[in-house]
Amino acid sequence: MTNGAANNSPATNILWIGTYTPDGGGRADGIGAVRAHLDGSLEWLGTAVEAQSPSFVAVHPTLPAVYAAAEQRGKVQAYRRHGEAALEAHGEPQLAGEATCHVAVDPHGRFVTAACWGDGQVLLYELDSDGGMTRRFPAAPSVDPHAALPPGSPRQSRAHASLMLLDGRIMTTDLGHDTLRIWTYQAGAGLVADHEVVLPYGSGPRHLVQHQNGNVFIVSEYSVEVFVVRPEAGTYELVFRGPATAGGSQQGDSAAEICLGPQGNFAYAGVRGSNLISVLEVSGDGTELIPVKDFDSGGNWPRHHMVRGNLLHVAHERSHNIATFELDPITGLPGPIRHTVNVPSPTAVVAAG
């Protein structure tokens, strides 16, 4: 790990990198750390802490605490930050479900949620005043709303992500059941089902982001589409469905991540296989996502990406690099690759604070 004592960059310029280690077919040793420089370049600092396939990480809103999904172990681990870019385990790992692939932290620091791709579980872990995980609450078993439609055996529930909504509720995606589930949090009880939004059969909602107007944008892994759901009198309703790319998806493509630009005028969807990022205009008063242009993501298998200021960082799991683009504030389009850094098997890139 590079010592940052001689560097004047603020600690907030550290990005944590979720990864796959050998148990997940990757090359990493644990959670990675990179430093973001003012010129837009990223500097690989090394492994912040050894961990087994910490494929997604989340940061506590006020404490120096980080949470990671140990995907192959079916567990969630809390860490504490020390120094500029190092982490150490904070408490014992907590049991989760099969293929725990995503974690998210309540903006008030009360709890962490975990989504499990392998068995569809969504779990909540309450946090103590030091950011440690205490009680664990599995959510109610999920039911496939499309079960009566196709012939054959029931489909496996596959929870994939959690989003902390602006109104305090939690929305989760279920790839296997093509469903968005909305929950409320009750202290001492965990997640309590509120309602759900059923998406078209076979779409596979994966990741999601909330616009400042309250609408939620979803990208679907299987159908490579985008959806918009809007809150109406407390219940989310599907108001838009469209392609996630300008050029259409190809055989073998699967969508990965969706995020918003700095002004909320554009969204960015990543597609593995074709290895592209699609720029989508947010139109219709935030109820439509219209593809503008697709561009090469700068590597192989863009698993995750984030916008930070006017920069877009794209993590490529299979080419072991993070590519950085500068975004035009008017058109939302990226210029040529501004910088690329070698990072082993990156699966998520998250700002440290």
Is 126 within a domain?
yes
Is 305 within a domain?
no
The tens digit of pLDDT for each residue in 276-303 reads: 999 999 999 999 999 999 999 999 999 9
Q: How far, in Å, CA of 161 to CA of 159, rounded? A: 6
Q: How far, in Å, CA of 282 to CA of 240, rounded? A: 12
Nearest to 67 by CA among 122, 21, 16, 129: 16
Q: What is the sign of the dihedral through the CA atoms of 312, 316, 322 and 323? A: negative
Is 304 within a domain?
no
DSSP per-residue codes, 268-287 = EEEEETTTEEEEEEEETTTT
Is 255 within a domain?
no
Q: Is the pLDDT of residue 2 over 60?
A: no
The tens digit of pLDDT for each residue in 133-169 reads: 999 999 987 899 998 887 777 899 999 999 999 999 9
Is 127 within a domain?
yes
Is pTM, for the whole model, over 0.75? Answer: yes
pLDDT at 12 (0 to 100): 66
pLDDT at 148 (0 to 100): 84
The tens digit of pLDDT for each residue in 231-255 reads: 999 999 999 999 999 999 999 999 9
CATH code at 74?
A: 2.130.10.10
CA distances in angstroms from 93 to 30, 68, 74, 96, 255, listed in the order given: 15, 10, 10, 9, 30
Average pLDDT, the chain: 95
The number of beta carbons lying within 10 Å of the beta carbon of residue 12 is: 10
Q: What is the sign of the dihedral through the CA atoms of 237, 207, 161 and 99? A: positive
Q: Is the pLDDT of residue 9 over 70?
A: no
Q: How far, in Å, CA of 122 to CA of 100, rounded? A: 9
Q: How far, in Å, CA of 324 to CA of 336, rounded? A: 9
Q: Is the pLDDT of residue 10 over 50?
A: no
pLDDT at 307 (0 to 100): 98
pLDDT at 245 (0 to 100): 98
Is 46 within a domain?
no
Q: Which amino acid is at 148?
A: A
> Which range marks the domain in which residue 183 is found?
51-198
Nearest to 307 by CA among 276, 264, 253: 264
Q: Is the pLDDT of residue 268 over 90?
A: yes
Is 31 within a domain?
no
3 state SS of 69: strand
DSSP per-residue codes, 161-211 = EEEE-TTS-EEEEETTTTEEEEEEEETTTEEEEEEEEEPPTT--EEEEEE-
pLDDT at 142 (0 to 100): 85
The tens digit of pLDDT for each residue in 309-350 reads: 999 999 999 999 999 999 999 999 999 999 999 999 999 999
Q: Is the pLDDT of residue 5 over 70?
A: no
Is 179 within a domain?
yes
Percentage of the chain exceeding pLDDT 90: 93
The tens digit of pLDDT for each residue in 184-208 reads: 999 999 999 999 999 999 999 999 9
* Strand-strand pairing, 321-327 and 311-316: antiparallel
288-314-339 Cα angle (round to 5): 125
Residues in contact with 86: Cβ distance below 8 Å, sequence separation at least 6, in sequence order: 1, 33, 48, 49
- The count of structural domains within the chain is 1
